[in-house]
Chain A
Amino acid sequence: MNHSETLVKQLPTELGGLEAGPLQRVEHELLPWEKRCHALADVLDFHKIVNTEEKRRGVEALGSEIINNLSYYERWIVAFANILFAKGVLTPTELAVKMDEVAARSASVGCCS
């Protein structure tokens, strides 16, 4: 199996048996937006708007460069955006416009919850 085949046949998130370094026993208290993102995932699954397995596939589909450069919940929210676009629930333009609105709003009065 050549290198490009390996990239395709293995999921970038699949780690079982790979070479890895020592355990890093780190943890962090979730930031409020991360917790909201987790809650969003659960709510989307309850409604079957995006089920949990679709989310997993969506994260895998981000590809190794994005996966290795975004944190856990950052990967989730980008995956959700992509999946919602593919399903026709949102469009990239809608999301971009809303993001500008949110950013402008929070620049003047502070954050987002």
Chain B
Amino acid sequence: MTELSKTQLNANLMVIPAEGEEPMFAAGDNVVISHRFPIGHFRVPNYIRGKKATVEAVIHPPAVDNEEEAFGRNAGNKRHYYRIAIPLTELWPGYAGSRRDGLRIEVFESWLSKETSK
């Protein structure tokens, strides 16, 4: 018996997930960190803004946006965080260590989009 995919199962059972329940990205996806500059508070450091990354893992379960949490939002609008990987050579021009070296950092879903360039 072939296994049904989650999407097929959902369709067969007519299950519709709530907004934000399903992760937008999966491990292995190539993503880009948004190139925006909020003031006041943020949890995405400047040094990774606009960089390309690979999703290493989806963090479960969905959680509150910590940038909104900082202004008192303790619940609601939960989405996933992702542990993403960026080579240090991508972050620092002339990086002197090994080209294997890398960063791992957690980023909230609203800061990521699919990388579309070749």
Direct contact of A and B (CB under 8 A): yes
**A interface residues (Cβ-Cβ under 8 A, vs B):** 8-11, 14, 16-17, 48, 51, 53-54, 56-57, 60, 87
Q: Which of B41-85 contact A (CB under 8 A)?
A: 41-43, 45-47, 66, 69-72, 74
Enumerate chain A residues within 8 angstroms of B45, measured Cβ to Cβ.
Answer: 14, 16-17
Q: How close is B26's CB to chain A, nearest CB, in angstroms?
A: 27
Given A10-B46, A51-B74, CB of A60 within 8 Å of CB of B69? no
Chain B facing A: main interface SS: loop
Q: How far is the CA of A19 from the CA of B37 in the complex (A)?
A: 21
A8-B69 in contact (CB<8A): no
Q: How far is the CA of A48 from the CA of B72 in the complex (A)?
A: 9
Q: How far is the CA of A9 from the CA of B37 in the complex (A)?
A: 6
Write the chain B residue with the least CB distance to A54. B70
- Besides A17-B45, A53-B43, 13 other CB < 8 A contacts? A9-B39, A11-B42, A14-B45, A16-B46, A16-B47, A51-B69, A53-B69, A54-B69, A54-B70, A56-B41, A57-B70, A57-B71, A87-B72
Pick the residue among A14, A17, A87 that contacts B91 (CB under 8 A): A17
Q: Which of B63-118 contact A (CB under 8 A)?
A: 66, 69-72, 74, 91-92
